[in-house]
Structure 1
Amino acid sequence: MAPRVEISRVQADSPGRDDRSNRSLNAEWVEITNTTREGINLRGWTLRDSDGNRYRFDNVRIAGRATIRIHTGNGRDTRTDLFQDRRNYVWDNNSDTATLRDDRGRTVDTESWGRRR
């Protein structure tokens, strides 16, 4: 069976003005949670939006029952926070879909919000 990692929360609309500051970019994020007891290496996994913007996980291990928050802006990766190091927003405030795929390209989870046009 595939590892149970899921998109647990999305904050697509950064609070306050969308001024493209690093602080504002980092207030836009997606959380993924490992729902199993075992740690899982996310190397080669990807997180992408419906426009095709993609973040590829490096050698990142998510502990059992742990959550990692993937921020859009710049920062130093830790066990609980990863940074895409982007200068533009990724997630559409009104409607978008976050897709998490494993290292074989299989869809593990998706999270959609808003209305489709």
Structure 2
Amino acid sequence: MSVSSSVRRLTAVTAVAAAAVGAVALPAAAADHHSSYPRHAAVYISGVQADSPGWDDRSNRSLNREWVDITNSTRRAVNLSGWTLSDEDGHTYTFRHVWLDGRSTVRVHTGIGRDVESDVYQDRQAYVWDNNSDTATLRNDHGRFIDAVSWGRLDRDHRDGHHHWHAS
């Protein structure tokens, strides 16, 4: 056996071993990384800012700094017309003529504004989301539960006080 064939064989063995280690190590690392995150539905509540920054003075600027983000994780656009977003007190916003493009987010502001592709407005003159404790619930145009996010309830399972539920 020549030196060059020994080097080639050693290189091939090393490459196979590295690939095998990578194949075993990568899924374990990926599984650990994602196990702490909720698995998202196609359309879900991706963020909430219940307590608008600054003084709660009921100005339109302050009202619009209170918002909920709705994200579409699929590649296809979703027609949100007739879908609702509500709080625990029954305040309900109904989406009208809103198409959420694939892999995009629409922000639902509490105050008054002009709807555009990335931002829609509830046109309210009072706050909706309770700063201390509330639940944002998203339902489709048939009233079927899609997703919900709660905040302000501390327990041993959710140390940050945020709970997230998805439709199955």
Q: Which runs of 5+ in 1 are unaligned?
A: none
Structure 2 distance, partners of 1:107, 1:86, is 24
Partner of 1:97: 135
Trace 1:31-46 onto structure 2 (pairs within 5 A): 31-46=69-84
Q: Which runs of 5+ in 2 are unaligned?
A: 1-40, 155-168
Partner of 2:124: 86
**Deviant stretches of 4+, over 6 Å:** none
Structure 2 distance, partners of 1:74, 1:22, is 6
Partner of 1:108: 146
Matched residue SS, 2:93? strand
TM-score of the pair, normalised by structure 1: 0.95
Structure 1 distance, partners of 2:68, 2:53, is 14
Give the root-mean-square deviation of aligned CA atoms. 1.1
Structure 2 distance, partners of 1:60, 1:98, is 19
Matched residue SS, 1:24? helix
Tell me which of 85, 97, 102 is aligned to 1:59: 97
Structure 2 distance, partners of 1:20, 1:43, is 28
Q: Name the structure where helix makes up a greater proportion of residues.
A: 2
For residues 18-66 of structure 1, the C-alpha deviation after alignment (integer angstroms, 9 at most, x for no partner) is 0000000000000000010000000100000000000000010000000
- What's the CA shift for 1:70? 0.2
- What's the CA shift for 1:115? 2.1
Structure 1 distance, partners of 2:112, 2:149, is 23
What percentage of aligned pairs have identical amino acids? 65
Matched residue SS, 1:13? coil
- What's the CA shift for 1:4? 1.3
- The one-letter code of the counterpart of 2:44 is E
- The one-letter code of the counterpart of 2:84 is T
Q: 1:74 aligned to 2:74?
A: no
Matched residue SS, 2:89? coil
Partner of 1:9: 47
Structure 2 distance, partners of 1:39, 1:107, is 19
Q: Name the structure where strand makes up a greater proportion of residues.
A: 1
Structure 2 distance, partners of 1:16, 1:51, is 24
